[in-house]
Amino acid sequence: MRIGLTLSLLFLFAAPSFAAQQPQVDRIEVVSAGLFKSKVAKKVVSPGSASGTRDVIASEKLLRRTTEIKAKPGLEFGLRYRIVGKPKGAKVPVKIVTIYPADGLRNPKADKPTQREELNVDRPIGKVLYESYHFDHDWEMVPGTWSFEIWYDGHKMTEQKFTITKP
């Protein structure tokens, strides 16, 4: 009886470590990159962004795979990516970094140009996710290399570059 009780108590105290699996991120992979068309669910205020707002996307459709983008109003480009790890569905904190060409984006309503934007969010492991940029204003259509980086735990896990040109 004493052995049974000891084993039961050992299992009781050990059980939480079996149940609570710590999320593990092995890598973040780009699934597709190019021109997209999306449906916006809502716009949210985003003080650190060049435009001051950020779109929350309800759905997106890949129109064409490419990393060469000819800028024009209304054009949307971006990437789909997946966080590979376990357990599937567990949310992990990632940082999405968008880096603009050297001169940055010059919103006429801002005091200085925006060189980069950072967004800290929780994203689920295993799901295909989406990040993009939509040209709403002429001042956003800056030619050069644009880069989307995705960071986890202080490490850049993936990067997707696009070359933006004038039409």
Q: What is the mean pLDDT of residues 27-43?
A: 95
The domains found in the chain, sorted by start residue, are 22-165 (2.60.40.2390)
Pairing state between β 76-86 and 24-45: antiparallel
Q: What is the mean pLDDT of residues 39-51?
A: 84
Dist CA 143 CA 103 (whole Å) = 10
Tell me the CB-side half-sphere exposure of residue 164, using CA atoms within 13 A.
Answer: 26
Lowest mean pLDDT: which of 15-24, 33-42, 115-124, 129-138? 15-24
Dist CA 115 CA 113 (whole Å) = 6
Residue 96: predicted pLDDT: 97
Q: What is the mean pLDDT of residues 30-56?
A: 88
State the average pLDDT for the chain: 89
Q: Which tokens sit at 70?
A: 């000819």
**E strand or H helix at 112, and its extent?**
none
DSSP string, 41-91: EEEEE-TTSSSSEEEEEEEEEEEEE-SEEE--TT-EEEEEEEEEEESTT-E
Residue 17 has pLDDT above 80, yes or no: no
Q: What is the mean pLDDT of residues 44-60?
A: 85
- The predicted-structure confidence for 77-136, as pLDDT tens digits, reads as follows 999 999 999 999 999 999 999 999 999 999 998 889 999 999 999 999 999 999 999 999
